[in-house]
Amino acid sequence: MAPSKHCRFVLILSLDTTTRAGSVAVVRDDEVLALQLGESSRTHGERLPGEIDAALVAASVDRQALDLLVVASGPGAFTGLRIGLAAIQGLAMTLAKPVISVSALDALAHTAFAAPRMPSAATIEYVAALMDAQRGEVYAALYEKTKPGFVFSSELPWRMVQAPIVGPAAQVISGWTMDRSGAIRWVGDGAVRFGTIIEAAGTNWSVDMDVPPLAPALAHIGRLRAAQGEAGSPHALQPLYVRRPDAELERARRTHVV
């Protein structure tokens, strides 16, 4: 099931269940044929696989024609992550298609560096991706641009410089090693929620109030990484939790009390 290195992927289905709404995209190379936004008032379990079917119908694509499946590995709510991974694993096994997982934080940063919707994207040097982790915390990672502008090429235009972490926004920001006088764009619902803290901490920092769906970025990153031989069996998919599951935290708390 694993593709050979440098294999060209034409039709891609990508799925994000790391956020409450989530999204599904059907992409031909880097052209979005269909984008299905989730209904946040309903759980992912209630909506899938209906949203996947709706995206395929809107794109006029038969699922057998898909070349690659891409899913957000996390971080995010544990239930949503498990549902998304299980949905893609089941589809991949049924269709015998290769699959690859991509960090939602990577996808979020990619939207800032690469999205044509942002004319200022070419001037961005650093992007901080923050996802609301509830409990007053954020999932966060920091990225820097590695090449000018955005071109649909064989390489991503950025690299991670601070690994994913979870914690209070102020603590995350103060703990990062970075040039605090430089221009940094902060993206994600975590950045929106804690925008006041962010803008007070840096003199040349800006918060993007628009939180885009992640499925198209997942497809683009997945295509590039799969072309380097990273796609494979659905059994190899692993969630990126960052924070330990609630059940583990509760067991640890009880053990400590005892």
Read off the pLDDT of residues 206-246 as tens digits, 9 standing for 90 and up: 899 999 999 999 999 999 999 999 999 998 898 999 876 54
Closest CA to 101 of 3, 225, 243, 245: 225
SS3 call for 159: strand
pLDDT of residue 247: 44
What is the residue-wise DSSP string for 8-42?
A: PP-EEEEEE-SSSS-EEEEEETTEEEEEEE--TTS
pLDDT of residue 1: 47
User: What top-level class would CATH report for the domain 11-104+213-251?
Assistant: alpha beta
What is the residue-wise DSSP string for 35-68?
A: EEE--TTS-HHHHTTHHHHHHHHHHT--GGG--E
Q: Please check whether the domain covering 105-207 is classified as CATH 3.30.420.40.
A: yes
- pTM for the structure as a whole: 0.88
Q: Do 105-207 and 11-104+213-251 fall under one CATH topology? A: yes
76: left (phi over 0), alpha (psi -120 to 50) or beta: left
Low-confidence ranges of the chain (pLDDT < 70): 1-9, 115-123, 148-154, 244-258
Classify strands 23-28 and 68-74 as parallel, antiparallel or unpaired.
unpaired
Domain coordinates of the chain in residue numbers? 11-104+213-251, 105-207
Containing H/E element for 207? strand 205-207
Pairs from 54-63 (Cβ < 8 Å, separation ≥ 24) = 54/24, 55/13, 55/24, 55/25, 55/26, 56/13, 56/26, 58/26, 58/33, 58/34, 59/26, 59/33, 59/34, 60/33, 61/11, 61/26, 61/33, 61/34, 63/13, 63/91, 63/95
pLDDT of residue 64: 96
